[in-house]
Structures are given as structure tokens and as C-alpha cells.
Amino acid sequence: MKAVDKLRSALETDPRIQQAKDWYQSQTPRDQLIVRGVAILLAISLAFLVLVLPLIQQNSELNTTLNAKVGFYNTMADNADRFAQGGGASAGASNTPLLALVSQQARKSGVTLTRYEQDGDSLRVWVDGVAFDDAISWMEALGRQFGVRATQVNIDRINDAGRVNIRATFSK
């Protein structure tokens, strides 16, 4: 309370405050009413600017963020069926036989299949003397584009630098 009392006594003794009070008292009652109305309007405007306007701006920003996230969610929900099965396999590849997918992609990647053997839903493949980088790129492309996974891989190094023999089992 001492701080409030100090402030009150400072305002009462300030000559500018006393001059404003004298000016106000010298006005007609109608003018005093107008001054009070303007002061109240000014106080309400100041309170709006300090308290309410930042809340409105934050609400607008949050609405923008929410709309962006809802849009992203809707896009993901619309595309969920594309990724639900097959690990990203394309729709046309799901009906293509495993042997056809593996051999076509091997040809595109420059990999020559030495031998292959169908084993139920999987395919065993032998590749001899292939460049390691080409073979890895081939297996990665099978998984990424067609959802074909290498469930078992055996890689043996041979005397030629960078070349390997591979035994792999693929499945969808």
C-alpha cells in the first residue's frame, strides 16, 4: 500500500495533473460528459489493442496451421490405400508374376540371372560374377518399385574386384 500512496501523492503534487484537473473543472457539464466518453473509448481501445488483438492474431495463425495439417492428413488418408499393402508396390505390379518382375528388373539393371527356381510364393535366384553395385541397385529397385523383398541373401566375393556371386530368395 505504501507504493500506491506514494504514487497518489506524486500525482496530486504534479503540476501537470493539477492543470488538467483545473481545465476539466472549467468545462461545461456537457463538455465534461464528452471528455469522459472519449476517455472511456480510449481506455476500451487500449485494452482491446493490448489484450484482445494478440489473441485474435494467434487464433488466426492457429487456424492456418490447423488447416495445413488437416490438408496433409486428408492427403495421407486419401493415399493410404496405395501404401497399405505391398510396401509401396505399384498397382500393376501386384498382378505380375514374381519371376517376370525379377527378370525384367534384372535386365534393366544389367544383371544376368544364372539360374532361378520357383518355390511356392517365393523365387530363388542365382547370379554369378555380377558387379556388386549393380546387384544392390537391382534389389533396391525391386523393393522400392514393386514391393518385392529379398528375404534371404547370400553374397560371396570372387577374384574379380567389385564382382560377387549372389544367391537370393525374393517374395512379394
In order, the DSSP letters of the chain are -HHHHHHHHHHHH-HHHHHHHHHHHHS-HHHHHHHHHHHHHHHHHHHIIIIIHHHHHHHHHHHHHHHHHHHHHHHHHHHHHHHSSTTS--TGGGTS-HHHHHHHHHHHHT---SEEEEETTEEEEEEEEEEHHHHHHHHHHHHHHH--EEEEEEEEE-SSTTEEEEEEEEE-
Please report, rounded to a whole number, the percentage of residues in the chain having pLDDT higher than 70: 92
* CA atoms of 1 and 113, how far apart (whole Å): 93
**Which region among 1-15, 20-34, 79-93, 122-136 has the lowest average model confidence (pLDDT)?**
79-93
First to last CA, the chain: 80
Full set of structural domains in the chain with CATH: 1-85 (no CATH), 98-171 (3.30.1360.100)
Q: Are 102 and 145 in contact (CB under 8 A)?
A: no
Confidence of residue 69 (pLDDT cuts 50, 70, 90): very high
pLDDT of 139 > 80? The answer is yes
Per the structure block, which three cell numbers stand in for 66? Answer: 490447423
pLDDT of 50 > 70? The answer is yes
Confidence of residue 93 (pLDDT cuts 50, 70, 90): low
